[in-house]
Amino acid sequence: MSGSINNYSTLMHATNRGYGEETQSQAEALRTMQKLPHIVSDPGMQLTHSIDDREKAIVDNINADQNAVTHLKYINSERDKMPLDKLNKALDKYLDSQEEDVSLRKYLVFGVQWVSLVTENLLSHPFIVLRRQCQVYNASHRYHLHPFQLLPSIVHLHRRQGVTTLWKGLGSCLLVRGMTLAIDDVICKVTSWPKEVDSRTTLKRFGQHILLKCISIGLVVPFYAASLVETVQSDIASEKPGLLDVFREGSLRLFYWSSPQKGRMLPAWALIGPSVSMGITKYLFSLVIRGVSSRIMRRRLTQKQEQRGAKYRDDTLEHQNAEIYASLIAMLTTEVLFFPFETILHRLQLQGTRTIIDNLDNGYAVVPILTNYQGAIDCYRTTLVTEGFSGLYKGFGAMILQFAAHVAVIKLTKWIVGQITECVSNRPPARIVQYYNLDRGAGHSDSTTISPSISSTELDVHSVGQNSLD
């Protein structure tokens, strides 16, 4: 009984104590509210409230940044899905443009080859006519060693005989060149000897190729001599030859092997030996010069490409230009070195044909060619005695004009091709190239981005959040 009374008294005491503490806390809150104007005016309390406001602003900024990032990722994912078809179409368009660019380059390469061929065989013919007329005229007073001596004679020829005077013999020259190619092809098919050689050709095959060239040059020599007559004879003092006269005259000269049909004309065997010797030596020298020049230019192109980087590029046009310039260098070098031998051969081939040529000393008169050489050595000695060593280089100025015009045409063609390539070649937008990583060589980053604006926005949001946390 006494224990129960003690427990009841303890419980009542705790209850009264809790009620007293609650009443006391309410009284303290009432006194605090009464003292509030004094607290607001206190600077220490203002600092406490500013810290609380800053913490609340930081929390609000963090929540806003998280909401913005979530919303931006959602937008980014939607944009990744939405323009995918457009990007695929842009990629297809880019690949199509690349295919068109490759086909365009093929056409341009073909065009450059065609221009080079036309320049070599057609545009150079007037200068060849001038050069040959100077070479065969043994009694000329002017040697025409530089182009300026030829200009007055060219003007006088055009005034007296017309524009076509320097295009004579063009048809026969083209027929002789076509005949040379046809003979090479026939011999190649009959004997299986190679028409062309390269660095991988064996020594045996190379010897067969040289033998093929010797036979071809020997068979063409009489027809070449007939074409030479049509090239140098004057239009106003001779009848214009027919298109197929070169075959008739060449055949007659070939069949009269040892006894020519005219007085001072040399027999075919006296012409074939020197012609084949000079022709094959000239061909081998040109082959070596062309190979060396081509390798040097290709090596320079490779070095330039390595300096630009490992990015793939179609250099077909550049290699084609290198081949054209290598051929031009080989042609120029061989023509300069073998010019005296060509002069001797032309005089031997023209002897006894009773040809009348234009007098290039003044460009008005015509003169006959009257020589009596006994062979190549006699022609060389007679020329040195009567005309001097410079007599072997008569008409050298015409060759300078020829190669100057050739280089000018190639330069002009190269410039036109470059302009066409720059105008027609199209590149896709930068974002498409960056998204699909098309420019592999020019990439500086491993990441791919669809839109630079999204990436910059994400960077700004993360930077805002990071600055807020600081």
CATH number at residue 155: 1.50.40.10
- Per-residue pLDDT of 347-358, as tens digits, reads 999 998 889 999
Q: Higher confidence at residue 172 or residue 82?
A: 172
142, 361 in Cβ contact below 8 A? Answer: yes
Q: Categorize the per-residue pLDDT at 465 as very low, low, confident or very high, splitting at 50, 70 and 90.
A: very low
Q: Categorize the per-residue pLDDT at 135 as very low, low, confident or very high, splitting at 50, 70 and 90.
A: very high
Let me know whether 29 and 105 are in one domain: no
Task: Say how far apart CA 63 and CA 56 lie, in whole Å.
Answer: 11
455 within some domain: no
Q: Categorize the per-residue pLDDT at 334 as very low, low, confident or very high, splitting at 50, 70 and 90.
A: very high
Let me know whether 57 and 127 are in one domain: no
pLDDT number for residue 458: 41
User: For residue 431, which amino acid is it?
Assistant: R
Let me know whether 62 and 150 are in one domain: no
CA distances from 241 to 33, 232, 247, 349 (A): 131, 12, 11, 18
Cα end-to-end span (Å), the chain:
68
**Mean pLDDT to the nearest integer, 18-28:** 49
Highest mean pLDDT among 26-30, 312-316, 363-367: 363-367
216 within some domain: yes
pLDDT number for residue 128: 94
Domain final position from 386, 403, 424: 424
Let me know whether 383 and 418 are in one domain: yes
pLDDT at 315 over 50: yes
Let me know whether 47 and 146 are in one domain: no
User: Percent of the chain having pLDDT more than 90?
Assistant: 34
Q: Higher confidence at residue 98 or residue 142?
A: 142
Place of tokens 């230009």: 321
Task: Say how far apart CA 268 and CA 218 lie, in whole Å.
Answer: 10
Let me know whether 131 and 221 are in one domain: yes
226 within some domain: yes
Place of tokens 């007073």: 141
Average pLDDT, the chain: 75
Number of compact structural domains in the chain: 2
358 has which bridge partners? 366
Task: Name the phi and psi angles at 367, rounded to 5.
Answer: -140, 145
pLDDT number for residue 257: 59
pLDDT at 166 over 60: yes
Range of the domain at 418: 91-424
Place of tokens 């020594």: 203
CA distances from 258 to 195, 269, 300 (A): 31, 7, 53
Q: Higher confidence at residue 90 or residue 383?
A: 383
pLDDT number for residue 214: 95
375 within some domain: yes
Task: Say how far apart CA 250 and CA 339 lie, in whole Å.
Answer: 24
Let me know whether 274 and 354 are in one domain: yes
Let me know whether 175 and 42 are in one domain: no
467 within some domain: no
pLDDT number for residue 101: 60
- Per-residue pLDDT of 59-99, as tens digits, reads 566 655 555 555 544 444 444 544 555 555 665 555 555 55
54 within some domain: yes
Let me know whether 193 and 323 are in one domain: yes
CA distances from 46 to 36, 49, 51, 87, 227 (A): 12, 5, 9, 58, 114
pLDDT number for residue 262: 58
Highest mean pLDDT among 57-71, 254-268, 281-295, 421-435: 281-295
pLDDT at 136 over 90: yes
Instruction: Please list the helix, strand and coil fractions of the chain in percent, rounded to the nearest 5, in that order.
Output: 75, 0, 25
pLDDT at 281 over 90: yes
Task: Say how far apart CA 121 and CA 409 lie, in whole Å.
Answer: 13
401, 141 in Cβ contact below 8 A? Answer: no
Q: Categorize the per-residue pLDDT at 54 as very low, low, confident or very high, splitting at 50, 70 and 90.
A: low
Let me know whether 341 and 420 are in one domain: yes
pLDDT number for residue 88: 59
Q: Categorize the per-residue pLDDT at 286 as very low, low, confident or very high, splitting at 50, 70 and 90.
A: very high
244 is written with which tokens? 């197929």
Let me know whether 45 and 120 are in one domain: no
Q: Categorize the per-residue pLDDT at 464 as very low, low, confident or very high, splitting at 50, 70 and 90.
A: very low
Low-confidence winner among 211-215, 263-267, 381-385 (lowest mean pLDDT): 263-267
pLDDT number for residue 305: 75
430 within some domain: no
- Per-residue pLDDT of 236-262, as tens digits, reads 877 788 878 899 888 888 877 555 555
Q: Categorize the per-residue pLDDT at 198 as very low, low, confident or very high, splitting at 50, 70 and 90.
A: confident
User: Percent of the chain having pLDDT more than 70?
Assistant: 64
Let me know whether 100 and 238 are in one domain: yes
pLDDT at 469 over 80: no
458 within some domain: no
Q: Is 465 helix (H, G, I), strand (E, B) or coil?
A: helix
